[in-house]
Amino acid sequence: MTKFLVFISFILYNIGSTVLVASRQTLPYQPARVVLGEARWTKNNARVHNASPPVKNKEVILSRGGGEGGRYLNFVERVGAAIALLGGSFLLVQYTGKNGLIALVFFLQWSMFYETCKLVEDHYRATSGVKTLKRVTFQKWWWFATIVLATSVRSLLIHSDGMELLHGIDPHFIDFVAYGMTAVGLVNGVVGMAIHRAAGPDMFRVHLAKMAAYHFALLYLITQSSFWIMTIQEYGMRWIIYPSLLVIVNDSMAYFFGVLMGSRKLLPRLSPKKTVEGFVGAGVSTMLIAVPLLKFVMKGAEESSSSVPLARHAIVLALFVSLVAPFGGFLASAVKRAFDSKDFGTLIPGHGGVLDRIDCHVVTAPFVFLYLRQFLRK
């Protein structure tokens, strides 16, 4: 019943926030253009460089923000996607429990890495004349498998209560295999550059820039999100649901106050739409709801042996979500601006890609686990 009430509350919450934003938006972003007879599409919403404008063709503008009809379509699209996401998450947790939530974490890791790699590749494909290595696809997914094995899979082995499939596997063996995969990846990468027919400074520069972006994504996204698995296994799903709800509140209220009264830009060169008023209003809102929300989520849960009151846990997590987590979104905005893209993907209508939705959530994952390990005893 508790999960159902949380689900319904946040559907209404997202609908209310989106209604306000949709009713006040004038030009949220540039309208998409479809040219009859000569359709021009960009992958991942990337800008097309050196593309000649269409001539003597009738243009049909699909406005996703301008005008009453555009605002209505944008509203329907965003709310529909929000309801689908929340409904799917509720059903997953309700019927599959922690195993389903762990499977979702692996899917999110794959999605985030895929979207980041595609963003980088689309940019270099459009701006660089240097041919890419054929081995790049193999290399990036080899490194992805290596990092997932060394972090998320290893976490499952250490905290494998109730997962018979993993019993008997030594985590130290996983360490050995992961290092072996690292060595293979290193040799393959260096040899691949050396034997390429276009080997030279220009090709090396582009290839190493791509690999640096991929490895940063692995370090920042995959390593941090692996803490979700440790939190699920060690402390239960409630300590995943609660911080996620805090981030949703913070993100929604930043949007709410930014549209309602935002005038001073917070970091205009990174994220022009973020305002000081939105940041402060979101922080205050998150702090106000933190304690009652935690009591609600933890209703019926087993008592912990922590000497720290539950309210204090709520305040600490709310402070982190309000002051630190938003910078995950700012970093994501900087990456998108650097690679000339509006969104990381198009999987979620009206919202963008998976990473566009969980960029702030990822930042909270390590903090929640490390904080609980220090101050909460099972």
pLDDT tens digits for range 95-130: 888 888 999 999 999 999 999 999 998 888 888 766
- Claim: this prediction has a pTM higher than 0.85: no
**DSSP character string of 252-282:** HHHHHHHHHH--SEEETTTEEEEEHHHHHHH
Kindly state the percentage of the chain with pLDDT values over 90.
Answer: 42
The pLDDT of residue 160 is above 80: no
DSSP helix/strand/coil, 246: helix
> Pick from 330, 329, 307, 326: which is nearest to 318 by CA?
326
Element (H, E) at 223: helix 223-235
Please tell me what DSSP assigns to residue 346.
S
| CB-count exposure of residue 39 (10 Å: 0-12, 13-18, 19+) | exposed
Residue 238 neighbours by CB under 8 Å, 6+ apart:
297, 298, 301
Hey, which residues does 59 pair with through a beta bridge? 35
pLDDT tens digits for range 77-98: 666 666 777 777 778 777 888 8
The pLDDT of residue 66 is above 50: no
Q: How many CB atoms lie within 10 A of CB 212?
A: 11
DSSP helix/strand/coil, 96: helix
**Averaged pLDDT of the chain:** 78
Phi-psi region of 264 (alpha: psi -120 to 50; beta: other; left: phi over 0): beta
Mean pLDDT of 338-352: 83
Q: What is the pLDDT, as a whole number, of residue 230? A: 93
Most confident stretch, 239-243, 269-273, 305-309: 239-243
pLDDT tens digits for range 49-60: 444 444 333 333
The pLDDT of residue 191 is above 50: yes
